[in-house]
Chain A
């Protein structure tokens, strides 16, 4: 099973090197083998899954943090795995024709297979942290795929928005996962689910609940995070089909599904899902009316469908969960095929504007038929699988314990608009008169028309013989939720209120389709409302942050070096000054400090004079000489206080430094009086304060007892272990030899830098 997850990553890496081969030989259709193989592999487990078995695989990854590559294939993973690999197969196949000859076709397939691998990893992993990693990987691949047309600004922008929102969700998921791990004491999903009480009784329960739902809401485009999904339609149509309708956006639903048993019965959980699901349903269903772009319509209907799923999980009854499971399959089938059809129309006519499309049935009859069936599944017209899905949704709202009328009304409202959306995309472009502009349209390639056809046929066949998938629908429900006796799926439920609701839906939907024509006036109306949409709010927020951070950056990073120095010093003075000043008490009485001797006083006076002279002099040469005097005084101090090595080193380095300065000094400009006196004074005060602070710190340090352990070790063992009597040298070449080795390397690099800087200049001048 590990190979199933990894093979996508491997292929994606492989395509980096062999991409051109596939592109030139037009062999990209062959890549379909990958998802198809995975589909077949998964199907081979079908028998076991239907019997309720769970297949585990275990690989250690980071055992220290309880992170492992554990995989588990149960009913729920199986259902999602089938969707991912099944729709993946069709999309891979479709793309080979849709993007035929595209410059970056190899890159596209690389992203696509990486996404598929990540998505499979997400639904198969049995460890929260691993799951989080795969979750983030899907966000990242989605980012690349949305921004696939990287020359278009709106593409890049949408990709960033999508990454931002789903990335935010990733944070929530990680936070939720860590809290769950803390409460349950394990990151293994199986163990968490087998003992949900541990999480439920933990003190973080509400927080976990909120984090997990927020993670799901961002990924599954729930209001108010929905706006990234319409933007994501900038991606090529196969991507919209695969990621943004059939699989990735369902990752949030998967998360809710998977962890439902943990939150079961929590009011917070049910209310969050019900409210946000319902608002999303209504909000986006209502938006469908105002859209004229085929993909835009489909995007909003996808959001509405996701809203329904969240809403159903929020209801949480056996019926609702069954409805959700069926609806996931139904939605994947019809929405993917509608997307693919929209892609075909776009590919052949060059437009997705519904007001300009009509009469295409004369040019592409098979697509028309496919479109109508897809619309029928979407609208829940019997005998399609869509009908079963819709009936189940109504049943679950109608048989719920509270607010039956209201919930059922919401469901019917949404379903009517989904019906409308399905027919607008699946039927409208094909009916009516063929405009002159479209008379040159060709019939699409078979590679493109086949995939949607396969999906709608499945939708039709499964509607008539729902027994085929019944086991796969009921397996996740019984395994995950522990419900027994899951309702049999059947097309005919007898005469009941539910049937009436269905008829009403179809009736009003048909009326809407016949009377309401999408046009620019409607689009203009909704654009005016965009000012208060979440997208606009986010943009404003972004701009605000940009302004603030720009202001902040300019405040501290204005490009003036002295400003930086002054800021750093001021910060240190303020931050440590308080502590130092209040803890400072100088008690020199019982300290065994050395008495000053006459020659020391002389040296110190010379040194002080030299330091002050260096600072105030206007002559550079005088400053350099004074600095040399400071250095020589230093070597004398070192000599007096038992550091002959230091004295010698300081002496020679000082000589060389002075020589260096003298060598270059006359090639440098004279001092200029550049700074205003006020600023000089400010700087002077600041530096003196800092200097005083340093002196105080040293005096405080000197009064503390000293730790000599390490020094004594070196001192005691210098001769015994290292056979040397000069401890300083022994430390340098033996005890801390590695440091010295690195130090001489640094010295080498510095002198190479000097060499380079000068020789480089000469050469570049030669060029001129």
Chain B
């Protein structure tokens, strides 16, 4: 399946899709989107890349095993969940920074939580697909 056209296209598509997934992730609080969808789009981007350039290439480009994204993401989400304890609020209480940032809107713990979800989804999906396609 490693055609030249797909290869050439994917070299452009991967960064574009990744950027798009991050955009989807960040705007999730206001418009359709969020960590789950963003994560799935990002994993699709990597899978597409693997189809075009081969699994070995994609993995070497990633530099680390995608599985490590899972604990990382869990840590993000967990910290976001427990951070209200430090200011004496109950678990999962949302904390927001003042001010407004374009696209993202407001910055706060729910966003960090969503980033965690995003990372876990990418990690899980890629781990599953990479392991399966590696196995003979």
> Does a CB–CB distance below 8 Å link A and B in the complex?
yes
Query: Is B110 a contact of A734 with CB atoms below 8 Å?
Result: yes
The answer to whether the Cβ of A750 comes within 8 Å of any Cβ in the partner chain is yes
Query: Is A726 a contact of B34 with CB atoms below 8 Å?
Result: yes
* Chain B positions within 8 Å of A399 at CB level: none
The answer to whether the Cβ of A102 comes within 8 Å of any Cβ in the partner chain is no
CA distance A655 to B129 in the complex (A): 12
Tell me which of A60-68, A489-497, A641-649, A697-705 binds B: A641-649
Interface residues of B in 94-136 (CB under 8 A from A): 94, 96, 105-106, 108, 110-111, 113-114, 116-117, 120-121, 123-125, 127-129, 131-136
* Chain B positions within 8 Å of A747 at CB level: 120-121, 124
Query: Is B132 a contact of A660 with CB atoms below 8 Å?
Result: yes
Closest to B30 in A: A725
Interface residues of B in 6-63 (CB under 8 A from A): 24, 28-37, 40-41, 43-44, 47
Q: A732-B36, A754-B127 in contact; A744/B120 too (CB < 8 A)?
A: yes
Tell me which of A243-251, A348-356, A380-388, A735-743 binds B: A735-743
The answer to whether the Cβ of A203 comes within 8 Å of any Cβ in the partner chain is no
Query: Is B120 a contact of A729 with CB atoms below 8 Å?
Result: no
- Closest chain-A Cβ to B68's Cβ sits at a distance in Å of 11
- Closest chain-A Cβ to B6's Cβ sits at a distance in Å of 14
* Chain A positions within 8 Å of B135 at CB level: 758, 761-762
User: 0/1 per residue, B59-94, Cβ < 8 Å to A?
Assistant: 000000001001101100110010000000001101
Query: Is A741 a contact of B47 with CB atoms below 8 Å?
Result: no
The answer to whether the Cβ of A560 comes within 8 Å of any Cβ in the partner chain is no
Q: A649-B36, A747-B121, A755-B127 in contact; A723/B28 too (CB < 8 A)?
A: no
Residue with the greatest number of chain B CB neighbours at <10 A, chosen from A652, A667, A732, A752: A652
Q: Which of A738, A748, A759 contacts B124 (CB 8 A)?
A: A748
Query: Is A751 a contact of B32 with CB atoms below 8 Å?
Result: no
Query: Is A656 a contact of B47 with CB atoms below 8 Å?
Result: yes
Closest to A750 in B: B124
* Chain A positions within 8 Å of B132 at CB level: 660, 663-664, 754, 758
CA distance A648 to B33 in the complex (A): 8
Closest to B42 in A: A652
Query: Is A656 a contact of B44 with CB atoms below 8 Å?
Result: yes
* Chain B positions within 8 Å of A751 at CB level: 67, 70, 123-125, 127-128
* Chain B positions within 8 Å of A648 at CB level: 24, 32-33, 37, 40-41
* Chain B positions within 8 Å of A734 at CB level: 92, 94, 110, 113
Query: Is A744 a contact of B117 with CB atoms below 8 Å?
Result: yes
CA distance A660 to B70 in the complex (A): 20
CA distance A664 to B132 in the complex (A): 7
Query: Is B37 a contact of A645 with CB atoms below 8 Å?
Result: yes
Query: Is B30 a contact of A748 with CB atoms below 8 Å?
Result: no
User: 0/1 per residue, A21-55, Cβ < 8 Å to B?
Assistant: 00000000000000000000000000000000000
- Closest chain-A Cβ to B93's Cβ sits at a distance in Å of 9
Q: Which of A663, A737, A744, A762 contacts B121 (CB 8 A)?
A: A744
Query: Is B47 a contact of A729 with CB atoms below 8 Å?
Result: no
The answer to whether the Cβ of A730 comes within 8 Å of any Cβ in the partner chain is yes
* Chain A positions within 8 Å of B33 at CB level: 645, 648, 726, 729
CA distance A645 to B37 in the complex (A): 7
* Chain B positions within 8 Å of A514 at CB level: none
Q: Which of A722, A745, A752 contacts B94 (CB 8 A)?
A: A722
CA distance A744 to B37 in the complex (A): 13
Query: Is A737 a contact of B29 with CB atoms below 8 Å?
Result: no
CA distance A280 to B124 in the complex (A): 70
The answer to whether the Cβ of A522 comes within 8 Å of any Cβ in the partner chain is no
Closest to A735 in B: B92
Chain B interface SS verdict (over half) = helix
Q: Which of B44, B92, B131 contacts A652 (CB 8 A)?
A: B44
Chain A interface SS verdict (over half) = helix
Q: Which of A649, A725, A759 contacts B37 (CB 8 A)?
A: A649
CA distance A728 to B28 in the complex (A): 9
User: 0/1 per residue, A557-597, Cβ < 8 Å to B?
Assistant: 00000000000000000000000000000000000000000
- Closest chain-A Cβ to B27's Cβ sits at a distance in Å of 8
* Chain B positions within 8 Å of A656 at CB level: 40, 43-44, 47, 125, 129
Q: Which of A728, A748, A759 contacts B120 (CB 8 A)?
A: A748
- Closest chain-A Cβ to B113's Cβ sits at a distance in Å of 5
CA distance A723 to B37 in the complex (A): 20
* Chain A positions within 8 Å of B110 at CB level: 722, 724, 730, 733-734, 737
Query: Is A652 a contact of B67 with CB atoms below 8 Å?
Result: no
Query: Is B114 a contact of A741 with CB atoms below 8 Å?
Result: no
The answer to whether the Cβ of A659 comes within 8 Å of any Cβ in the partner chain is yes
* Chain A positions within 8 Å of B108 at CB level: 723
* Chain B positions within 8 Å of A762 at CB level: 135
The answer to whether the Cβ of A541 comes within 8 Å of any Cβ in the partner chain is no
The answer to whether the Cβ of A653 comes within 8 Å of any Cβ in the partner chain is yes
Closest to A725 in B: B30
CA distance A755 to B66 in the complex (A): 12
Query: Is B74 a contact of A748 with CB atoms below 8 Å?
Result: yes
CA distance A730 to B31 in the complex (A): 11
Residue with the greatest number of chain B CB neighbours at <10 A, chosen from A737, A761, A762: A737
Q: A726-B32, A732-B34 in contact; A754/B128 too (CB < 8 A)?
A: yes
- Closest chain-A Cβ to B61's Cβ sits at a distance in Å of 19
Closest to B47 in A: A659
* Chain A positions within 8 Å of B124 at CB level: 744, 747-748, 750-751
- Closest chain-A Cβ to B94's Cβ sits at a distance in Å of 5
Query: Is A730 a contact of B120 with CB atoms below 8 Å?
Result: no
Residue with the greatest number of chain B CB neighbours at <10 A, chosen from A656, A660, A725, A733: A733
Query: Is A758 a contact of B131 with CB atoms below 8 Å?
Result: yes
Closest to A654 in B: B40
Query: Is A659 a contact of B32 with CB atoms below 8 Å?
Result: no
* Chain B positions within 8 Å of A759 at CB level: 131
* Chain A positions within 8 Å of B114 at CB level: 729, 733
Interface residues of A in 680-731 (CB under 8 A from B): 722-726, 728-730
CA distance A728 to B127 in the complex (A): 27
* Chain A positions within 8 Å of B116 at CB level: 744
Closest to B43 in A: A656
Q: A652-B37, A741-B78 in contact; A644/B32 too (CB < 8 A)?
A: yes
User: 0/1 per residue, A433-453, Cβ < 8 Å to B?
Assistant: 000000000000000000000
- Closest chain-A Cβ to B67's Cβ sits at a distance in Å of 7
Query: Is B40 a contact of A730 with CB atoms below 8 Å?
Result: no
- Closest chain-B Cβ to A764's Cβ sits at a distance in Å of 13
- Closest chain-A Cβ to B132's Cβ sits at a distance in Å of 5
Query: Is A649 a contact of B123 with CB atoms below 8 Å?
Result: no
* Chain B positions within 8 Å of A748 at CB level: 70-71, 74, 120, 123-124
Query: Is A729 a contact of B44 with CB atoms below 8 Å?
Result: no
Q: A723-B108, A726-B28, A733-B114 in contact; A659/B123 too (CB < 8 A)?
A: no
User: 0/1 per residue, A663-674, Cβ < 8 Å to B?
Assistant: 110010000000
* Chain A positions within 8 Å of B121 at CB level: 744, 747
User: 0/1 per residue, A304-327, Cβ < 8 Å to B?
Assistant: 000000000000000000000000
Query: Is B32 a contact of A645 with CB atoms below 8 Å?
Result: yes
Closest to B96 in A: A723
- Closest chain-B Cβ to A268's Cβ sits at a distance in Å of 59
* Chain A positions within 8 Å of B125 at CB level: 656, 751
What are 9 A-B contacts with C-beta separation under 8 Å?
A: A652-B37, A723-B108, A725-B29, A729-B34, A730-B29, A732-B36, A745-B74, A754-B132, A758-B131
Sorted nearest first, the 8 A-B pairs with minimum C-beta distance are A652-B40, A644-B32, A751-B124, A724-B29, A744-B120, A729-B34, A751-B127, A725-B30
Given contacts A656-B44, A663-B132, A758-B135, 9 further A-B contacts (CB under 8 A): A645-B32, A663-B129, A667-B136, A729-B29, A737-B110, A744-B74, A750-B128, A751-B67, A751-B123
Q: Please report A residues at the B interface, Cβ cutoff 8 Å.
A: 644-645, 648-649, 652-653, 655-656, 659-660, 663-664, 667, 722-726, 728-730, 732-734, 737-738, 740-741, 744-745, 747-748, 750-752, 754-755, 758-759, 761-762
